[in-house]
Each structure stands twice: as structure tokens, then as C-alpha cells.
Amino acid sequence: MLPDLPASRTESDGSAVVRVLSYNIRSLRDDVGALSRVIRACAPDVVCIQEAPRFFRWRKAAARLARETDLTYVTGGATASGPMLLASLRAHVERTEDILLPRTPGLHQRGLATAVVRFGRTARLGVVSCHLSIRDAERRRQGRLVLEHLAALGVPHAVLAGDLNDRPDGRTFALLAQELQDGWATRPWGREHTTRLGDPLQRIDAVFATKDVEVLGCGVPMGLAGVEEADLRAATDHLPVLCAVRVPAA
């Protein structure tokens, strides 16, 4: 059995332990019950979704997922062309913004779901969910823009999570890792590779954190109590990445 990550809590010094989950849910085309069970078992404070429903009745689908995972809808979905944020009631949402990135003709529109949330009275965290291009040149341009938008949140502590469509030896992954902490590389926990079980082993989903955020553990929660392999197989075509961080007081 995989040891649990530190539990969510607010420390006496005003800092906060926050659990961030990144998950590509393939537009809820698979087993939503299995997906919901995996998310609930991870006990996240913030969920960075990729490939949220974007078309017919997408708001109803987002509300259903929030309800079945005991979370609240924060922002994103169709308005960010796929990325979406959910959060527990522990998170006080200060502001949100959905951003559409420049689009290359003939390629999929990409965007960002962003928010600034507060835990306790003083621990403020910027959050960005992203899903980058399958094309290398466009993906690298998007990586630069993601870093710019992360900085533009105007808070000293932030996390970036998403489906990068790039591996750690790729140009865009390396660009992000130069500016931010790669959660898995900093404090590995659980399973490394995020592609569907049985597919070629790749780490293309990740959680990053700014330099002063303490990474307490990060990886695929396979073997975590309540996370069943059958549910991981049925939920979607990616595996989730769970990361616990300690956010300093502002």
C-alpha cells in the first residue's frame, strides 16, 4: 500500500499544506463513477482538470463532476477550451480568469484556467491548469505564455498543472522545469508515468510549483488507499498526478 501524502491543514505559522490533483478526464467520455471515486480518494484541495467538457450542456457536466467528487466548480471548461479548476470548500477563491492562447490555424484551440485561492487567513496560492499543443513549436510558444500568465497572477506562490504533451527530455517540459520545481523530480512519490496502464511509459502530465513552495510529494497515486487499479483503467486515458505542497504565509 502506498503511504499517504501529508493531510491538508493550516499550520500555526499561517502556512498551509495543500493537495493539488492534475487529471485529464477526456471530456467525461469514460466511466464517470470510476473517475469520481479516484478523485475523492485523493482528497484534493484543488483539481486541475484537462479536457473538461466543452460543448453541449458542458456546464451541467461540470456541475455533475463537482457534485460527485464533493468539490465546487471554480472556473474553466468551454471558456478555457478544456482546462478547468475544481476546489474543496477549504479553498477561498479570490479571483479567476480564463485565457485563450493564440491559435495556429488548423490546430486545436488551447487555453488556461487560472485562479488565486487562499487557505486559512494568509496562505495564498496561484493555480493554473493547462493542456499544451501536440506540435513542438506551438507547444514551446505556449510554454512561454504559461510562464508569463503564471507571473501575471501577482502572487509569490503558485502551482502549474496539466497535460503537457511533452516528456521531461522535451523542450517545453525543460523550459518549465528551468523556471519552476518539477514536483516529481523534486519529491517523487507513487508512480512516475502518467500514460494509461498498458500504453508506452511516458510522463507527460505534471505538477510544477514556484521556488518558495515546499513540495512534500508528487506522483501518480497508484496504490493509495481507495484508488483502485480498475477505476484508474476505467476513468480516462490518462493517470492522475497528486502533489502535496506547503504554501508559505503571505
pLDDT tens, position by position, 103-153: 999 899 999 999 999 999 999 999 999 999 999 999 999 999 999 999 999
Closest to 152 (Cα-Cα) out of 176, 116, 120: 116
SS3 at position 21: strand
**What's the CATH code, domain 9-247?**
3.60.10.10
Evaluate if residue 3 carries a pLDDT over 90: no
pLDDT tens, position by position, 218-241: 999 999 999 999 999 999 999 999
**Is the entire prediction scored with pTM above 0.85?**
yes
Domain ranges of the chain: 9-247
Closest to 94 (Cα-Cα) out of 121, 129, 118: 118
Distance CA 203, CA 206 (A): 7
Residue type, position 139, single letter:
R
Mean pLDDT of 74-92: 98
Closest to 101 (Cα-Cα) out of 87, 83, 125: 83
**CA 203, 200, 241 angle in degrees (round to 5)?**
30
Give the N- to C-terminal CA distance of the chain in Å, as an integer. 36
